[in-house]
């Protein structure tokens, strides 16, 4: 098939393009960033630098396409999300214009990458959180800024299915991590940030690590290979409602640090910045609905995924020291 991936220069997008090429598809990768800033640039794909927040650009990138994977968004880790709410909300322009353009040209399938940030904050106040089911997104109380944009765009995708017959599919990503992604600069997520801090200590002989919050906030983290497999599975399914796509392996941030220390062979003194952005107190993915539809769920262990991620980030850090 002819497939367009927006956000192809980003972490998930780069891995998705690679997988689609391996499957034998003709892939058009699109990102707003110049090619030098793409995490992966695949010569076998048609690569375009375009801003799909502009309707004319969205129309250009969907021309001749049978399937769209819309991953384009201005986002990052909790530090970025909490301090850039307007920028996160502006991603609605790309989401909306890509749906409009896809409907105009008769795209067969349209995948939208949503987020666990759509879930109601009142259900995420305890580290021993009850895993979130898809219906827990309502009554709506999502993450301010980023979560509201994701929830709105989910609804827009639903209405394009209902009103125009565009076959939209939606996944709610839960904390995706792995190599070839953001690991420094303020947009990185917790696994990458922790791997970087541990790698710096291991390479420089450092003895301390700073942790945002008290370290007892809990999350689940999904390795990129599970994310890509799940993304393609949802896109090519007949399931039209949003689905969780995440690991159900719940850990605290302190436990995540311990895993990174074990992989690196170091033990660091921990300091806690209680003023730093922390997000919700606990979040985990209930995979019951995904498992009932497809007979599997993301299952790559955090220990195995972190080993791969740490090795890649260690090499990046070493180049800078």
Q: What is the pLDDT of residues 280-297, one digit of tens each?
A: 999 999 999 999 999 999
pLDDT > 90? residue 277 = no
Is residue 146 among the annotated active site residues? Answer: yes
pLDDT > 90? residue 35 = yes
pLDDT at residue 278, rounded to an integer: 85
Stretch among 38-47, 69-78, 207-216, 243-252 having the lowest mean pLDDT: 69-78
pLDDT at residue 248, rounded to an integer: 97
Q: Per-residue confidence at 81, pLDDT binned at 50, 70, 90?
A: confident
Sequence-ordered list of residues with C-beta below 8 angstroms from that of 244, at least 6 positions apart, any chain: 116, 132, 133, 134, 171, 172, 174, 285, 286, 287, 289, 290
pLDDT at residue 59, rounded to an integer: 98
Burial pattern 69-101, b for ≥16 Cβ within 10 A else e, equals: bbbbbbbbbbbbbbebbebbbebbbbbbbbbbb
pLDDT at residue 78, rounded to an integer: 77
pLDDT at residue 253, rounded to an integer: 97
Stretch among 6-10, 85-89, 102-106 having the lowest mean pLDDT: 85-89
In this prediction, what percent of the chain has a pLDDT beyond 90? 94
Q: Which of 242, 269, 201, 216 is nearest to 116 (CA)?
A: 242
pLDDT at residue 129, rounded to an integer: 93
Work out the angle at residue 171's Cα, subtended by the Cα atoms of residues 70 and 299, and round it to the nearest 5 degrees.
125
Please say whether the beta carbons of 270 and 215 come within 8 A: yes
Q: What is the mean pLDDT of residues 214-229?
A: 97
Query: CA 267 to CA 244: how far, in whole Å?
Result: 34
pLDDT > 90? residue 75 = no
Query: CA 221 to CA 190: how far, in whole Å?
Result: 9
> 303: helix, coil or strand?
helix
pLDDT > 80? residue 77 = no
Helical residues (DSSP H) of the chain, grouped into ranges? 11-22, 55-62, 78-83, 85-89, 91-105, 146-164, 190-204, 224-235, 253-264, 288-294, 302-320
Q: What is the mean pLDDT of residues 304-315?
A: 98
pTM: 0.96
What digits encode the pLDDT tens for the residues 125-163?
999 999 999 999 999 999 999 999 999 999 999 999 999
Query: CA 223 to CA 179: how far, in whole Å?
Result: 9
Catalytic residue among 39, 69, 112, 146: 146
pLDDT at residue 204, rounded to an integer: 97
pLDDT at residue 311, rounded to an integer: 98
> 262: helix, coil or strand?
helix
pLDDT at residue 279, rounded to an integer: 87
Domains (ranges, CATH) in the chain? 2-176+222-245 (3.40.50.720), 178-220+249-320 (3.90.25.10)
């Amino acid at each position: 098939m002819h497939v367009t991936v927006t956000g192809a220069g980003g972490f998930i997008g780069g891995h998705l393009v690679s997988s689609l090429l391996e499957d034998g598809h003709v892939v058009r990768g699109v990102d707003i960033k110049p090619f030098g800033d793409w995490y992966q640039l695949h010569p076998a794909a048609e690569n375009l630098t375009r801003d799909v927040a502009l309707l004319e650009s969205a129309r250009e990138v969907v021309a001749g396409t049978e399937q769209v994977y819309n991953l384009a968004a201005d986002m990052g880790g909790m530090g970025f999300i909490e301090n850039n709410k307007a920028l996160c909300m502006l991603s609605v322009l790309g989401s909306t214009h890509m749906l409009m353009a896809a409907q105009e040209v008769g795209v067969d399938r349209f995948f939208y990458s949503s987020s666990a940030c759509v879930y109601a904050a009142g259900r995420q106040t305890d580290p021993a959180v009850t895993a979130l089911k898809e219906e827990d997104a309502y009554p709506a109380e999502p993450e301010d800024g980023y979560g509201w944009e994701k929830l709105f765009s989910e609804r827009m995708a639903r209405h394009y299915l209902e009103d125009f017959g565009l076959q939209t599919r939606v996944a709610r990503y839960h904390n995706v991590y792995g190599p070839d992604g953001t690991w420094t600069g303020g947009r990185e997520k917790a696994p990458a940030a922790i791997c970087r801090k541990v790698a710096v200590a291991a390479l420089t002989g450092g003895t301390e690590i700073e942790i945002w919050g008290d370290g007892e906030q809990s999350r689940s983290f999904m390795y990129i290979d599970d994310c890509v497999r799940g993304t393609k599975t949802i896109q090519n399914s007949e399931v039209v409602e949003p689905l969780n796509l995440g690991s159900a392996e719940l850990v605290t941030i302190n436990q995540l640090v311990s895993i990174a220390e074990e992989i690196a062979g170091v033990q660091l003194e921990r300091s806690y910045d209680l003023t730093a952005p922390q997000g919700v107190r606990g979040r985990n993915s209930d995979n019951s609905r995904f498992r009932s539809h497809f007979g599997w769920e993301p299952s790559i262990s955090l220990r195995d995924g972190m080993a791969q991620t740490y090795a890649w980030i260690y090499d990046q850090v070493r180049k800078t020291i």
